[in-house]
Amino acid sequence: MKLLEDKNVIITGASRGIGMGIAQVFADHGANVAFTYSSSEAPALELEKELIAKGVKAKAYKSNAASFKEAEDLVAKVLEDFEGRIDVLINNAGITKDNLLMRMSEADFDAVIDINLKSVFNMTKAVQRTLLKQRKGSIINMSSVVGVKGNAGQTNYAASKAGMIGFTKSVALELGSRNIRCNAIAPGFIETEMTDKLDEKTVQGWRDGIPLKRGGSTEDIANACLYFASDLSSYVTGQVLNVDGGMLT
Ligand SMILES: NC(=O)c1ccc[n+]([C@@H]2O[C@H](COP(=O)([O-])OP(=O)(O)OC[C@H]3O[C@@H](n4cnc5c(N)ncnc54)[C@H](O)[C@@H]3O)[C@@H](O)[C@H]2O)c1
């Protein structure tokens, strides 16, 4: 069964990792996918080709999620290219710039807040008018277990991800009466290029602490997104779903 037949979806930061995994699973479920990348064009164009080969419409856009102006321009272009309709927005773009607070620079704090949190404001604001007109839409924000429980060495990242949860719940309250839903996913330890930066001892430490005794895959997260994007969750809004192998249990 295809759960997203002919739905138009925007995913930020999908040229690799979790975003790419979501794009692939969504295309398998019949969704047309507009996605952004920040720097390397080649993998984005490669993904665009791969999605089109699955029989859906797909387009890659270079856009900095931290820029309000770029978010507005992006949404205008997507509306032009995808017949004026946006059904789902996934705010996935994110970075880490880890350090103990003692050593964290102001620039590293600001960069993480701008790309992880301000981007969610930018994109949600940019699609809001369209979703209101349609009286239907689903917004999914990629938070983190770190936003729920905190993490030493990640004050900037944890603050950005906790902020996304407050934003998600507030948008759910503001837009629920117009049939626009907004939910967050809190992934645990998902093995992507982002986590490749960690040393093997740290990675093993994460795995040991997970009841299911493994890191998650991008598909694990994509399947949770599929639930929130589709009508399977039509009575669910303002929620945070931990997809973490039981880590926070
Ligand atoms: N991997 C994990 O364990 C994990 C856990 C919890 C939450 N997350 C979150 O999931 C999301 C995806 O993570 P990932 O592991 O795939 O990371 P990743 O580093 O592999 O991918 C991040 C994506 O964001 C894009 N991006 C970065 N800055 C951008 C910008 N300014 N504008 C637009 N795009 C930008 C990158 O190009 C890339 O495509 C992030 O928000 C991350 O915080 C990841």
Which residues lie closer than 8 Å to 19 by C-beta, 6 or more apart? 11, 12, 13, 35, 90, 92, 93
Tens digit of each residue's pLDDT (9 = 90 or more) over 102-151? 999 999 999 999 999 999 999 999 999 999 999 999 999 999 999 999 99
Is residue 217 part of an annotated ligand binding site? no
Extract the tokens encoding 54: 């699955």
Q: Is 157 a catalytic residue?
A: yes
Domain contains 46 = yes
Structurally, how many domains does the chain consist of? 1
Helix (H, G, I), strand (E, B) or coil at 187: strand
133 alpha carbon – ligand 1 mean position (Å): 30
Q: The CATH number of the domain where 190 resides is what?
A: 3.40.50.720
Q: Report whether residue 217 contacts ligand 1, using a CB cutoff of 6 Å.
A: no
Per-residue model confidence (pLDDT) at position 91: 99
Cα 183 from Cα 139, distance rounded (Å)? 6
The predicted-structure confidence for 98-116, as pLDDT tens digits, reads as follows 999 999 999 999 999 999 9
The answer as to whether 248 is a domain residue is no
pLDDT band at 197 (very low <50, low <70, confident <90, very high): confident
Q: What value does the mean pLDDT take over residues 211-225?
A: 97
Determine which one of 37, 61, 157, 227 is catalytic: 157
Q: Does some domain include residue 2?
A: no
Residue whose CA is at the smallest distance from ligand 1 atom 36:
13
| 193 pLDDT tier (thresholds 50, 70, 90) | confident
Instruction: Using the atom order of ligand 1, give the atom closest to the CA of residue 143.
Output: 7
Let me know if residue 149 belongs to a domain: yes
Element (H, E) at 167: helix 155-175
Q: Is residue 3 part of a domain?
A: no
Q: pLDDT > 90: what percent of the chain? A: 96
Residue 195 has pLDDT above 90, yes or no: no
CA of 92 to the centre of ligand 1 (A): 6
- 37 among the known binding-site residues? no
> Residue 231's domain spans which residues?
8-243
What is the distance in A from the centroid of ligand 1 to the CA of 110?
16
State residue 53's pLDDT score: 98
Ligand 1 pocket, residue 57 CB under 6 Å: no
Overall pTM > 0.85: yes
Look at residue 194 in the predicted model and tell me its pLDDT. Answer: 83
Q: What is the pLDDT at residue 196?
A: 86
Mean pLDDT value across the chain: 97
Q: Is 122 in the pocket of ligand 1 (CB under 6 A)?
A: no
The 10s digit of each residue's pLDDT in 60-80 is 999 999 999 999 999 999 999
